Structure formats: C-alpha cells, structure tokens
C-alpha cells in the first residue's frame, strides 16, 4: 500500500511538542518516516518565525536541507490559499521558485486551482488535486487535469464517518465514470483520519498519515511523533496487503 507522511500542516509547537517546523526538523522526520514505511512526504514550508510560506528562499532552504539528508524521497508541498490568499500572488511565488518540489497539492475548492495546476505543470512540478466534494471532482474532470496528475487526493472534511464515506463514494463514482486512472489517495482529518486510512487500505487505495491530519494514535493516545504514527498505520493496514 502506498503511504505518504503528512508531517506538519498548520500545526504549531503549542499543539504538539514534536511537530517539525524547521528544515532540520523536517529532514529528521523525513528520515524517520521513510524508515518506518512511507514512500513520499508532504509538508508545509515554514518561514523562520514558524509561519507557513511559499517564499522561494524558504522553499529552497527546506527542500535542499531535506534532500541532503534523505536523497531520492519524493517531496511534496502545500499551496493552500491560507498560505497565500491572493491567487495572482500565489502564481507569482510559484513561478519564482528556484528549487522545485517533486509535486504540490492544490485544493480544488479554492479560487484559481486550475490555473495553479497548469502553472505547476509548466514548471515541471507534479500535481496532486485535492478534492473534498463532488463539485471538486466535477471541476477536475472538466479541467482535463486528471491525466496529468501524480495522484488525486480525496479529502472529505466531514467529521461523522458515515457522511465522510458517502462523500468519498460519490467522488470515486465520478472519477471512475470519468475514466481517471492515476493513483487515488484517500485520507481524513482528526476523527476520520484512522477510519479513512483503514478504508483506503480496504479499497486498495493510497493513503497518508501524520501530525497534519491527527495528533492521536488509533487507540486514542497522543502520538509521540510522525514516526510512531507511520508505524501504527503500517500495522493497521497490514491485514489488507
């Protein structure tokens, strides 16, 4: 089963003592989670003050540091609108990157998602369209970008599992009808993080886990690290592999 680590997201040090924020911390967590069984890593680049950023210097510093310590691991970064709310400015920043991630996630619910994906592709960066609803799935199909995607992320935000599963099934139905053949990654947030990871394993889909999506282990205890979460995920998914 393809498993990706989502190392930090919007988490702060106040939320969890080991959330990686600096390039060195992100590099160390990459080493540990790869050793624990992930095939790729997703992260939110941070500035020196800990805020999320798309600044080219911070992107370059972070990616270079991780690659020096853990070469060959596919690295993806977030382009979420809360990092840079102005779609035009976001495109400007992406075009100014001097060191490129292997892929970048793009939330299709956000303004300018299609143009952002096209800009990333023009720069030779893989795209991961992030879908949270049937409307997002339809936009992806209309855009024609699914065939150019590294993988499509199914990210239902509903916190009640039956509702999250319903949204997931609807998105999968649309993607299947649209003959989407790229890798599909299903994951949840907070209460649905572990149930949807297990659902992904059951369906033969890819998934992800890490401190971005939840701070807890499957048994409800707070996780000590991203590494511990990946180890737990591999154990949970083993019966389906």
Span 61-70, average pLDDT? 98
70: CATH: 3.20.20.70
User: Residue 61: pLDDT above 90?
Assistant: yes
Whether the predicted pLDDT of 241 surpasses 90 = no
- Rounded CA-CA distance 95/119 in Å is 8
* 99 Cβ contact partners less than 8 Å away, ≥ 6 residues apart: 56, 59, 60, 63, 64
| The pair of three-digit structure tokens given for residue 239, joined into one six-digit string | 């019966």
Cα–Cα distance between 200 and 2 in angstroms, integer?
10
Structural domain count, the chain: 1
Reported as type and span, the H/E element at residue 186 is strand 183-186
pLDDT the model gives residue 173: 98
Where residue 151 falls among pLDDT bands split at 50, 70, 90?
A: very high
Q: Are 184 and 205 in contact (CB under 8 A)?
A: yes
Question: What domain range is 155 assigned to?
Answer: 3-240
Query: What stretch of H or E contains 126?
Result: strand 126-131
**Which H or E run includes 26?**
helix 23-36
The fraction of the chain above a pLDDT of 70, given in percent, is 100
Helix ranges restricted to H, 44-160: 56-69, 87-96, 113-122, 134-143
Measured distance between the N- and C-terminal CA atoms of the chain, rounded to whole angstroms: 7
Nearest 10 degrees: Cα torsion 237, 155, 214, 27? 80
Mean pLDDT score, 66-86: 97
Tokens for 157?
């935000």
Q: Which two tokens stand for residue 79?
A: 């382009």
pLDDT in tens, 120-145: 999 999 999 999 999 999 999 999 99
Summarised one tens digit per residue, pLDDT across range 2-29 is 999 999 999 999 999 999 999 999 999 9
Show Cβ contacts of residue 121 under 8 Å, excluding neighbours closer than 6 positions. 127, 148
DSSP state of 149: -
């Amino acid at each position: 089963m393809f498993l990706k680590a989502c190392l930090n997201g919007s988490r702060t040090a106040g939320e969890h003592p080991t959330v990686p924020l600096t390039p060195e911390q992100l590099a160390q967590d990459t080493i540990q989670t790869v050793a624990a069984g992930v095939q790729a890593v997703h992260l939110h680049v941070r500035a020196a003050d800990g805020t999320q950023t798309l600044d080219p210097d911070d992107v370059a510093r972070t990616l270079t540091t991780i690659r020096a310590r853990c070469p060959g691991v596919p690295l993806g970064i977030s382009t979420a609108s809360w990092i840079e709310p102005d779609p035009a400015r976001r495109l400007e920043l992406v075009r100014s990157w001097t060191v490129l991630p292997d892929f970048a996630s793009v939330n299709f619910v956000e303004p300018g998602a299609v143009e952002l994906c096209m800009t990333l592709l023009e720069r030779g960066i893989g795209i991961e369209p992030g879908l949270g609803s049937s409307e997002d799935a339809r936009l992806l199909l209309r855009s024609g970008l699914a065939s150019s995607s590294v993988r499509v992320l199914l990210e239902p935000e509903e916190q009640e599992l039956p509702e999250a599963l319903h949204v997931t099934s609807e998105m999968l139905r649309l993607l299947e009808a649209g003959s989407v053949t790229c890798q599909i990654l299903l994951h949840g947030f907070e209460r649905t993080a572990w149930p949807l990871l297990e659902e992904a394993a059951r369906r033969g889909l890819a998934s992800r886990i890490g401190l971005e999506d939840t701070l807890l282990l499957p048994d409800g205890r707070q996780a000590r690290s991203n590494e511990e979460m990946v180890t737990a995920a591999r154990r949970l998914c083993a019966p389906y592999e």
